[in-house]
Structure 1
Amino acid sequence: MNRYFFQAVGILAGTAMGAGIFALPYVFSEVGVLIGILFLALFALVYFGVHLMYAKVLQKSGGGHHFLYLAEQYLPRSIARLGSFLIIAGLLFALLIYLALAPSFARLLFGIEGIGVVFIFWIIGSIFIFLGLSKQSWAGFLGVVAMAGIVIVVLSASFGKEFSFSLVKDVDLFMVFLPFGPILFSLSARSAVPQVVSLYREARKRRRGFSLPFAIFTGTVFPAVVYVFFVFAILRLSPQVSPQALDGFYLSPLLMKFLGALGLVAIWTSHFVIGRNVRDILKTDLHVSRMVAGAVPLCFPLVFYLLGFTDFLTLVSLAGGIFLALEGVFVVTMWGRVFSDSRWYWVRAPIYAVFLLAFGYEVISYVSGI
């Protein structure tokens, strides 16, 4: 292991750890912590497989290609176009999720919330979408530091608190699937895999190679371990947790303001980095005009927020159970087409099952209003 290994792990873990962490304490409390942890462990293995499959496809392609290029190469044209739409829609949904979280963190920091907060957050985040990449290079690091700060503060505050929440709950079969979408959203880091593969190639050129599968395994599992500690800490502080996690307990006013500031920094950096990513995909890969490419990440999230898509848990569940589940299906299908003779070809079936179950549950629950 060397610095390239730790860089690869850090990039993958840092990409996965985002807004999804704030939904996990609530969904775990609804289905039982034990079931939540079992699903988290299972889905971490699923995403280890998906991330590794995507890395293998990237290695086979011989270049630093985007998902859309690979989809066009290895999937039928109509499916590739659907994949392109889902990637962009999923990223736009992530921007919408950050808008939905902004009032919660603003309330902790400033004691205010409402549509005005959303507009201010949207304006500040949108300005940075159009800055040069050199001015954004620190954003990922700053976001990871902010997320780490939130976890550390919550863990520290929970020391000495008794865990009075039941590990097992009696829930009906349909409710058991509640964690699927939020957990998938919390573990997905497919967009970081090309950077991991690039680091792997550079390390080999410098004769400082590392195990790519082990780096991907560590970078995928590490967030899951952090999530377990975070869930236990939140439930120690407040067994009656809210869907936004940090809304459901009270610490000293100074600590609550600090958590609010860290939360705003974390979602702000993620907001404009993802917005820039959407803009670049539209402009470079789909050859959309510069004006339209810039307008899409600006307008779509705000318009949908104003239309009433404001519930954080619903948005996270749909993003994970619909967009990321289908993205995972496409990655596994691409890998299967490239490595049809692999001895691990059979793992496609259980991975497909997880993603399709998540997709089916989210569609049924959203349509039926459950």
Structure 2
Amino acid sequence: MGFRFSPFLTAIGVIAGMIIGSGVFALPYAVSVSGIWPSFIGAILAFLAILGIHLAYGEVVAHSSHEHRLPGYVHTYVGKTFGRVERAAQIFAFNATLLIYAILGGKFVSILFGYAFPLSSTIIFDTYADSGTFLFFIVAGIIFAFGTIRTIGFLNFALSLPFVFATLWIAWFALRFGVIEHVISVPGGSPFFSFSVFVFSLAGLSVIADAKGVFTKHENLYDSRRGLRPAIVVSTTLPFVLYIIFILAVLAISGGAVSNESLSGLQPILGDGVARVGALIGLFAVFTSYLALGYDLRKIYEFDMRLPTFLSAALVIVIPFLFFIAGFVNFVGLMSLVGGFFVALDGIFVVFVLRAMRRQGLITHPFVPFNTTIQAALVLLFAASAIYEFWHQLL
């Protein structure tokens, strides 16, 4: 009998592999910009809101017999116009996020291989990072063309493990070289900045429908210990705990001198080798997220736009690549916009979809408390985030 991951672990791999991505490397910098106490409040609010939305969406997909993604559910339960709005918003946000992952993946590849990288001497690309991004697109494209959700779930689980060990490794160095005063004395000055970065870094809504897909008809989707609900809780909580450890460790070592991607600020203390180790960890993190999010975008094209499977897989690679060669490389601004505006918009629509399904009596196994107060709190929090981000990014 061949080796086979359990659906529970595979679901955790799908969701957690998506969540643990590029955002984590910006979190220590974001906390240093906002200050430790505003960031602490923002982190708790972001975690509770994202966990609530993840469970709410898990409840939606678990009680639906249709192969939709969020735009399809919005179309069915909220209205056709809102469904079109959500579909356009998700397609843009997903492609922007895939571009973020690919650009960062290219940077990590260039750090790892530098002049030894095969394409780095060609005239097609201006920098080694550009060559690395091209290779990133090629490898991801092959996996999308031939992989299944179980394959991607296994890869996500396996490739996420190095980040877990690396976080603990950095925390150990922080105990040796870090100073607690560095954490307390981070400068701050922009208290709301870190919230959208935490939201971006914790968001895994897009792959919850994929996680449902790993449970076959012979396995209990609603199992209280090894079903979809506990998989969502574990997959959202574990990255959050690792993020907090990573943030405190990096700040304890770097203090106010933390770099915007965390790694270079650690190099003077931890040694030159940290750059390559950090790049390898970063490559694993963004690659797992790219696979998980790309698979879900492919399903949006297939289920909600009725496109053929091959064309859907091709678009997942081609559209971000076209944006890349067109010169859209400001991933920091894209990260903030996606987290603060588009993820917030998703959260609001999830509330309305689940509200409609419960009113129609379609829910038999609730995943989350969902009274009027909780609904209002989630909508108001995400609406405030979207308005703030829209005002600062788009106006």
For normalisation by structure 1, the TM-score amounts to 0.85
| Change in 2 beyond 3 A, CA 1:178/1:295 | same
Of residues 204-213 and 159-168 in structure 1, the stretch that sits farther from structure 2 once superposed is: 204-213
Task: Determine which of 259, 262, 265 is the counterpart of 1:245.
Answer: 262
Question: Are 1:109 and 2:128 counterparts?
Answer: no
Gapped regions of structure 1 (runs ≥ 5): none
Match of residue 152 from structure 1: 168
Task: Determine which of 322, 343, 346 is the counterpart of 1:303.
Answer: 322
Q: What is the CA distance between 1:95 and its match in structure 2?
A: 0.9
Task: Determine which of 288, 303, 314 is the counterpart of 2:307.
Answer: 288
Decide whether the 8 Å contact of 1:336 with 1:345 is kept in 2. Answer: no
| Change in 2 beyond 3 A, CA 1:320/1:117 | same
Decide whether the 8 Å contact of 1:100 with 1:311 is kept in 2. Answer: no
Task: Determine which of 25, 44, 47 is the counterpart of 1:44.
Answer: 47
| Change in 2 beyond 3 A, CA 1:283/1:336 | closer
Decide whether the 8 Å contact of 2:344 with 2:386 is kept in 1. Answer: yes
Match of residue 79 from structure 2: 76
| Change in 2 beyond 3 A, CA 1:365/1:8 | same
1:1-370 aligned at under 5 Å gives the runs: 11-62=14-65, 65-111=68-114, 113-133=128-148, 136=152, 138-161=154-177, 162-167=179-184, 175-194=190-209, 199=215, 204=220, 216-239=232-255, 240-250=257-267, 251-289=270-308, 292-340=311-359, 344-367=371-394
Quick one: percent identity of the two aligned structures? Answer: 26
The one-letter amino acid paired with 1:231 is: I
The one-letter amino acid paired with 1:306 is: I
Q: What is the CA distance between 1:114 and its match in structure 2?
A: 3.5
Of residues 294-303 and 79-88 in structure 1, the stretch that sits farther from structure 2 once superposed is: 294-303
| Change in 2 beyond 3 A, CA 1:348/1:136 | closer
Decide whether the 8 Å contact of 1:28 with 1:179 is kept in 2. Answer: yes
* In structure 2, C-alpha distance between the alignment counterparts of 1:195 and 1:275, rounded to whole Å: 11
Deviations 1:301-336 (A, max 9, x none): 223233443233222111111221111111011112
Decide whether the 8 Å contact of 2:220 with 2:227 is kept in 1. Answer: no
Q: What is the CA distance between 1:30 and its match in structure 2?
A: 0.6
* CA RMSD, 1 decimal: 3.2
| Change in 2 beyond 3 A, CA 1:120/1:197 | closer
Q: What is the CA distance between 1:154 and its match in structure 2?
A: 2.1
Secondary structure, aligned partner of 2:306:
coil
Deviations 1:272-309 (A, max 9, x none): 44334323331343112456434422232223233443
Deviations 1:56-100 (A, max 9, x none): 223443566433332222111010111122222222122111122
* In structure 1, C-alpha distance between the alignment counterparts of 2:219 and 2:265, rounded to whole Å: 45
Secondary structure, aligned partner of 1:339:
helix
* In structure 2, C-alpha distance between the alignment counterparts of 1:83 and 1:364, rounded to whole Å: 20
Deviations 1:219-273 (A, max 9, x none): 3233222111100111123221222122322133444322222322332343244
Deviations 1:136-163 (A, max 9, x none): 4532123312322432332233221223
* In structure 1, C-alpha distance between the alignment counterparts of 2:68 and 2:248, rounded to whole Å: 40
Of residues 276-285 and 93-102 in structure 1, the stretch that sits farther from structure 2 once superposed is: 276-285
Decide whether the 8 Å contact of 1:71 with 1:83 is kept in 2. Answer: yes
Secondary structure, aligned partner of 1:23:
helix
* In structure 1, C-alpha distance between the alignment counterparts of 2:223 and 2:75, rounded to whole Å: 33
The one-letter amino acid paired with 2:302 is: K
Decide whether the 8 Å contact of 2:340 with 2:386 is kept in 1. Answer: yes
Secondary structure, aligned partner of 1:165:
helix
The one-letter amino acid paired with 1:267 is: V
The one-letter amino acid paired with 1:325 is: A
Q: Which runs of 4+ in 1 moved over 6 A?
A: 3-7, 205-208
Deviations 1:33-78 (A, max 9, x none): 2221221111111122212222222344356643333222211101
Decide whether the 8 Å contact of 1:177 with 1:358 is kept in 2. Answer: no
Decide whether the 8 Å contact of 1:182 with 1:321 is kept in 2. Answer: yes
Secondary structure, aligned partner of 1:61:
coil
Deviations 1:90-148 (A, max 9, x none): 22122111122124323432346442332232233333321232754532123312322
* In structure 2, C-alpha distance between the alignment counterparts of 1:265 and 1:210, rounded to whole Å: 26
For normalisation by structure 2, the TM-score amounts to 0.80
The one-letter amino acid paired with 1:259 is: G
Of residues 307-316 and 228-237 in structure 1, the stretch that sits farther from structure 2 once superposed is: 307-316
The one-letter amino acid paired with 2:174 is: S
| Change in 2 beyond 3 A, CA 1:206/1:291 | closer
